[in-house]
Amino acid sequence: EVQLVESGGGLVQPGGSLRLSCAASGFTFSSYEMNWVRQAPGKGLEWVSYISSSGSTIYYADSVKGRFTISRDNAKNSLYLQMNSLRAEDTAVYYCARVMATPDYYYYYMDVWGKGTTVTVSS
Amino acid sequence: EIVLTQSPGTLSLSPGERATLSCRASQSVSSSYLAWYQQKPGQAPRLLIYGASSRATGIPDRFSGSGSGTDFTLTISRLEPEDFAVYYCQQYGSSIFTFGPGTKVDIK
């Protein structure tokens, strides 16, 4: 079964750090690009960061640029999000999502999502 | 940066009725990179439609997508009780993934 399982969320004070993990199973993780997407309480979905299958290409939303770092370990089938200088507005459920790209990149979308991990930034 | 606008914000309908959800982009987007997701309370988003009109695996044929350029539509032909949820459109372009604010379909 194709599965993504996030972990590492919790309560952290403003200015603090947290590292999220996403464990992948049931597919060849190293062949897929990945995203982190978050959802603040009662709000919509917000894309956070992207990483290519090899890890060589990375993008960030402006809201987290310079504070968050995405990475992956293909040998461990794992995706990470290092979050520093956390703010109250980073409070959200964080989802990892698999990016499906057809070989010619004709189609490009997120087809598998984890259940999410909750991050709360509060003093 | 492309902004997606969804309308209406809330759609109140009865089971069996037809739902028409709109997603409008601030500039033209590639249809190939336009997707729709369904999200129920407490659950992760689920892919419904990719490439503006292709149904994802396992998605019932009462769900259909259409559109091009700046105007896209998700149609649910006959609402089933399990279809009451929030629906998001999403596009990819210029190294950025963008979501619309969502349309909530609730029971009238």
For the CA atoms of B103, B104, B107, B108, what is the dihedral angle to 10 degrees?
-60
What value does the CA radius of gyration of chain B take, rounded to a whole number of Å?
13
* Alpha-helix residue ranges (DSSP H) falling in chain A: none
Cβ-Cβ contacts under 8 Å, A107 against chain B: 32-33, 50-51, 54
Q: What is the pLDDT of residue A102?
A: 87
Q: What is the pLDDT of residue A103?
A: 80
What is the number of other CB atoms lying within 10 angstroms of the CB of residue B13? 17
If DSSP codes are grouped into helix, strand and coil, which group holds residue B13? Answer: strand
Residues of A with a Cβ under 8 Å from any B Cβ are 35, 37, 44-47, 50, 59, 61, 95, 97, 100, 106-111, 113-116
If DSSP codes are grouped into helix, strand and coil, which group holds residue B32? Answer: helix
Mean pLDDT (chain A) is 97
Handedness of CA A100, A104, A107, A108 (dihedral sign): positive
pLDDT digits (tens, 9 = 90+) for A92-113: 999 999 999 988 878 889 999 9
CA separation for the pair B22, B37 (Å, rounded): 13
CB B50 to CB A109 under 8 A?
Answer: yes
Nearest Cα residue in chain A from B93: A108
What would the mean pLDDT of B23-52 be, rounded to a whole number?
97
